[in-house]
Chain A
Amino acid sequence: MNVRADPWARPHAVRAAAGLAVLIVAAAALPAAADAPPPRAMLTVTVIEARKGPPFLHDALKPMWEMLRKSLMLRKSFGEKFGYYDLLSASDRTVDVDGRVEIALPDGDRFAATYGGITPEKGLLRVSLEYGDFRTKVRIHDGGSFFQAGKRFREGTLVIGVKAALEKAR
């Protein structure tokens, strides 16, 4: 009697072959992934004058009003509650890793934000700030914003908004 050999009748051999195939594909893909350049990011720096006074919000700041309200108005920060928000300057740039966006502050200092790439675990964007002798490094989510504040200006303070977002795939 002639019995044809059925390869599916040997599950161990089939599993081994499938595993090998997966390993080969993964090994081929790994160098490609490692070679892929890290994504670029758009950094947006917004310099705001905040102080006590009659309620005022510059038109260009209206999109970020909710963030300003939550961060600076709802909380009593250092005995002050700001009601007057004026836009002094803004700058945005799409940069590669280690690329920086610099902006001149109204008092003559320079403020710089540098994109440091993304974290491998959660894909957070690394951003470092520097102005004068102040330095800080943070990680934020794609599209997230934070503020740096405290530098005295006129009767109020400078609030510098930083937003970082990955460049969308082209």
Chain B
Amino acid sequence: MWRTGKRGRLEAMRVADGAAQAGARADPAEVARFRDLTAAVRGASDPGDAAVPSFDAMWGGVERKLEAARAPVAVPREAAEAAPGLLARLLGDRPLFVLAPAGAFLVAVVLGLLFWTRPPAPNNQCFVDSYDAGSGSVIIDQDFDDSDRPTVIWFVEEG
């Protein structure tokens, strides 16, 4: 009498793998199915099988790319030796303490150049105290709200 159920399948699996003796209480048909399945799985994982793609070529390409990425960049020796050390010494442990004042100084210099090198706009406010014309018309065109704008004293002759 063959074992059935879960125990029977486990027994058949062990027999198919050679872990148990054939003829134990395993169903030979079940054992045969497990053997077929094992053969199919092994066959599928065989690299010689054309149906299964080979990953060797892909891994080879990946390894070549990794090696290329790991290769050191050609940097002049003096620069490689001096630059990182100098910058690190300048910046110290808290680079913001150096970079923030330096940035503020740079902004101040630019603003200073923009504003202080430009001469101040002259005050063109003009106060007309008197005018005298034998003929014609005199018109004072001025705007005291705009000190840049020069006054125009129009004298339009008759005729």
Contacts and interface: CB of A to CB of B under 8 A. Distances in A.
Interface of A: 66-67, 70-72, 75, 77-78, 124, 129, 133-141, 143-152, 159, 161
Contact of A147 (B132, B138, B151): B151
Contacts of A139: 126-127, 129
B128 A143 contact: no
Interface in B130-159: 130-136, 138, 141, 146, 148-157
Interface residues of B, number: 28
Given A77-B141, A145-B122, A136 B130 contact: yes
Contact of A150 (B125, B135, B157): B157
A145 B132 contact: no
B4 interface: no
B132 A71 contact: no
Contacts of A152: 157
A133 B154 contact: no
B131 A149 contact: no
Contacts of A146: 124, 126, 150-153
B123 interface: yes
26 contacts: A67-B124, A67-B148, A67-B149, A71-B141, A72-B152, A77-B141, A77-B152, A77-B154, A78-B156, A133-B134, A135-B130, A137-B129, A138-B129, A138-B153, A139-B126, A140-B126, A145-B150, A146-B124, A146-B126, A147-B150, A147-B152, A148-B153, A148-B155, A150-B136, A151-B157, A159-B152
A141 B124 contact: yes
Nearest to B156: A150
A22 B148 CA distance: 41
7 smallest CB-CB distances across A and B, nearest first, come from A133-B134, A136-B131, A141-B123, A143-B122, A70-B149, A146-B126, A150-B154
A75 B141 contact: yes
